[in-house]
Amino acid sequence: MTDILVSEVGPRDGLQSIDRVMPLEAKKRWIAAEAAAGVKEIEVGSFVPPKLLPQMADTAELVAFARGIEGLNVVALVPNAKGASRAAEAGVHAMSIPFSMSETHSIKNVRKDHPAMIAEIAAASAIAREHDIHFAVGLSTAFGCTMEGAVAEDQVVRLAEKAVEAGAEELSLSDTTGYADPAQVRRLTRKVRAAVGADRLTTLHLHNTRGLGLANVVAGLEEGITTFDASLGGLGGCPFAPGASGNLVTEDLVLMLNAMGLKTGIDLEKLLEVRRIVEEALPGEPLYGFTPDAGPMLDYKQRAAA
């Protein structure tokens, strides 16, 4: 069996996308329950100013809590070097900084053009190194942008190289807008890996906005990608396509990977129970996924054990 890491990003990417603030105790129950189900990595929050994202104001407390869970890799998103300092102080195991491949998106999102973001990545990387924290860069809008449309693949490759030069230990290709298709995933993964090395590009952050999320996962698997981000219940939706699901649904991803005979280490039945915690804490919030409704196949356990 091949080991595949499913990285849960719901407590950050999901919760920052909705208006309501989930209570701290509910977040803790969610994180603990997912870890108990076998999830080995959780992005627990982001170190952004609370004024901008009150949903993330308790991230330092969540880091402290999650660090007490044996075997769990505790990750946080940081928007800049200032956020990296706060993450290091909190004691994260790993941090990730988003770097938009669309300069228009970058300026609108973090008010920095590409040269300014490279400088920010270098500064954040230095902080991570000083504290022995794994440092990753998420290449967001890599597959397309709602402002610019297509993003040139050569530009993605060039900026990926710049990010590594600035100190990125690891890269992920992020389908921020749900534009990716399987052929594009294969092509861009090959190009970036050829430029920076296969060991630098191990992760895909995919969305299911247009129903292509799991197909894009399979394309990534075929290219040797071993880590996939997902959000419980696809929480967060997609601000660019109202009414559409956004993040890849953790439950559907785990069902597919386990049924394919790949090794995630995640107990699907226990994972499905975690959904109740989120439903109770955020009543009425849209949650997505086919597996919670349909359940696993009758021969699922035989497939997963194969």
Q: How far apart are CA 238 and CA 240, in angstroms?
A: 5
Whether the Cβ atoms of residue 247 and residue 270 lie closer than 8 Å to each other: no
The answer to whether residue 238 is catalytic is yes
Q: Given the residues 238, 266, 287, 304, select the one marked as catalytic.
A: 238
Q: How far apart are CA 244 and CA 241, in angstroms?
A: 6
Residues marked as catalytic: 238
